[in-house]
Structure 1
């Protein structure tokens, strides 16, 4: 997973080490669900999340704000989509969409999903908009990165008929839950 994230984010070795530590902490969260995409033995993308009530940073009010990332009345019914990454050679092929859809469909009792993503116009923001996410107008800073908080109702918005790309033959998706 570290290799996929490092390639997708063009991370420095120092950033990759920090993310490995974060992944170790996240792996201990209750009800964590991971969805991975593989081409044969090679992982080409992944995402993971947990019910928002288990992700403590989203229950706090960020510095300089008056509201938490997830509104308190939504904590019990929301999913925190914590990471979604696809290696650059595999981007724009529908893999990120499928990862998000599989993760979100694995939580049928939840009604909302929240995530943070770098602020500004990016391919990831376009993907999230196509899935029905909108900017909550809440921005947080992690290290030197400004992040926008996005929200979508569940189920995620389906892709328009005729626009869905067939996924490459041999690509497999696996879901694991802790």
Structure 2
């Protein structure tokens, strides 16, 4: 069965008030999808961890328009993603001057997390979650940060049409991420 015709995967959409009961489940999925961070003693985690994810999701859920989508197979969550509409000033921070004006002028979606448990990867679920977020938020542009060594995630984002916009640091001495941009009209 091709990924686009799977009938055993259902996508559900949640708003900010519905997130708290899902936190442990999405943290488990996130940890399964990022074994290089969770399972490698002494590995550089770039500040990422399950407790940080809990705080991040809870904080982001306060943004107007916050949307979490989850994929369920046979009644169990196997993937999730979340995003929210945001201003270019909020999302790009010090990188803002390097962002083209036409990008800064459009409605922006900050894609914060997209994780699929390994047994369900490469089956079109990440693409379906991404499409559900774009439909719910309806942005002109979508942007995300990805670790340069996250080849699986980067492969998905390349297929979805994201383009490299430059290096990004959350803090002046923090790790470097790749900032990616997607013009949504080109993706649909």
TM-score of the two chains, using structure 2 as the length reference: 0.70
How many Å apart are 1:120 and its aligned residue? 4.0
Indicate yes or no: 2:157 matched with 1:131. no
**In the alignment, is the contact (CA less than 8 A) between 1:30 and 1:54 conserved in 2?**
no
- C-alpha RMSD of matched pairs (Å): 2.8
SS in 2 for 1:67: helix
Between Structure 1 and Structure 2, how many residues are aligned? 153
Corresponding residue of 2:144: 115
More helix by share: 2
CA distance in 1, matches of 2:186, 2:130: 9
Indicate yes or no: 2:125 matched with 1:95. yes
Corresponding residue of 1:140: 169
1:51-95 CA-partner distances (Å, limit 9, x unpaired): 122983x15215xxx737786962651111111000111111110
TM-score of the two chains, using structure 1 as the length reference: 0.73
Equivalent residues in 2 for 1:6-17 (5 A)? Answer: 6-10=31-35, 11-12=37-38, 15-17=49-51
CA distance in 2, matches of 1:6, 1:18: 12
Equivalent residues in 2 for 1:16-35 (5 A)? Answer: 16-35=50-69
Picking from 83, 88, 97, the partner of 2:113 is 83
Unaligned residue ranges in structure 1 (runs of 5+): 159-178
SS in 1 for 2:63: coil
